[in-house]
A and B are shown apart, each in its own frame.
Chain A
């Protein structure tokens, strides 16, 4: 019998962190985390889960990317955060904008590429781990990451050039 309390204590912070990095809004993070554990629970009812960490990472990443795609572009109170004293307001605004652009760009990638990119560069996972989490081969994971990286680098190179003007 699965000890859900222990599971939440052990892996809950990981799921919250992944959701926070991708979504950046407290309400979205809360919704995503709840959905992740609900989906994991339902999957576990069908068949026993052996690798909880990998599954929860995958569900959190894919769920967050899907949420970004569905999200409307509206200002939220969560966006208003206390300023870091070491950062100038315009630097904070610029950084925030670039981060949001990256999130939107990653969400616009195909599912496998977006998820692979997030797991590789936000979670520092190895290719073998990523392949296992997503249920794909090692070479498929490597290809997805290369493609995602190439697309995003092109987008951000153009973005930086535009901002410099």
Chain B
């Protein structure tokens, strides 16, 4: 142990090893790479550094490209949403509402003054206050005493 410590201070590491290990390690340490191999490897490293340095510049361009791509994507998305909104609005304007025959009366019946329709009362309002009174009176008589063969469907009496 003491001799090993002394050897360490002397800076001769191999003397710390056993003879067998020292022989093998010594053989490895003495081996040197061929000069041609050394130069070829170092030349390859220099070429690699040049490539790496040029590729370092590209990430900046890639970042700019990514930023512009993200803006384009956002813009395209906004345009698509706007187009969809406009399209749905346009369709809602022009779509024909199919009437429900159970709810809306036939046209012939609807335009008749005999029926208490909104159209009839609007027309009466447009004429005069007396017209409204007359319309109300007529509708009341029709409900109470419907005429035979009348097409008026709003009778309180059951249909025959």
Residues in A lying within 8 Å of B, measured CB to CB: 4-5, 8-9, 12-13, 16-17, 20-21, 24, 26, 29-30, 33-34, 37-38, 41, 45, 95, 98-99, 101-103, 120-122, 124, 126-127, 149, 152-153, 156-157, 159-160
* Residues of A with C-beta under 8 A to B129: none
Please indicate the chain A residues that have their CB under 8 angstroms from the CB of B150 in the complex: none
- Decide yes or no whether B159 CB sits under 8 A from chain A: no
Contacts A5-B49, A8-B42 aside, 8 further interface pairs with beta carbons under 8 A come to A4-B46, A4-B49, A4-B53, A34-B41, A38-B48, A98-B24, A98-B27, A121-B14
Q: Are A29 and B37 in contact (CB under 8 A)?
A: yes
Indicate which residue in B32, B45, B53 contacts A12 across the interface (CB closer than 8 Å): B45
Cβ contacts under 8 Å, B11 to chain A: 124, 126
Q: What per-residue 1/0 map shows which CB atoms of B15-52 lie under 8 Å from chain A?
A: 01110110111011101110001101110111011001
Chain B residues with CB under 8 Å of A33's CB are 41-42, 44-45
The answer, yes or no, to whether B13 is at the interface (CB within 8 Å) is yes
Q: Count the A-B residue pairs with Cβ separation under 8 angstroms: how many?
A: 99
Cβ distance A56 to chain B, nearest Cβ, rounded Å: 11
A29→B41 contact, CB < 8 A? yes
Find chain A residues with CB under 8 A from B40 CB. Answer: 30
Q: In the complex the two chains form, what is the Cα distance from A102 to B26 in whole Å?
A: 11
Q: Whole-angstrom distance between the alpha carbons of A124 and B160 in the complex?
A: 123
Q: Given A17-B33, A124-B11, check contact A156 B18 (CB 8 Å).
A: yes
- Nearest CB in chain A: distance from B68 CB, A: 25
Task: Out of A38, A122, A160, name the residue touching B29 (CB < 8 Å).
Answer: A122
* B contact patch SS: helix
Chain A residue numbers with a CB within 8 Å of B45 are 8, 12, 33-34, 37
A57: min CB distance to chain B, Å: 15
Contact A29 B33 (CB under 8 A): yes
In the complex, the answer to whether A12 meets B42 with C-beta atoms within 8 Å is yes
Contacts of B33 in A (CB 8 A): 16-17, 20, 26, 29
- Whether B24 and A156, one on each chain, are in contact in the complex, defined by CB atoms closer than 8 angstroms, is yes
Question: Given the complex of chains A and B, what is the CA–CA distance between A33 and B39 in angstroms?
Answer: 12
For the complex, give the distance between the alpha carbons of A126 and B9 in Å.
Answer: 9
Would you give 27 A-B contacts (Cβ < 8 Å), ordered by A? A4-B49, A8-B42, A8-B46, A8-B49, A16-B38, A16-B42, A20-B32, A26-B33, A29-B33, A30-B40, A30-B44, A33-B44, A34-B48, A41-B52, A95-B27, A101-B24, A102-B21, A120-B13, A121-B13, A121-B25, A126-B11, A149-B17, A152-B21, A153-B17, A153-B21, A156-B24, A159-B20
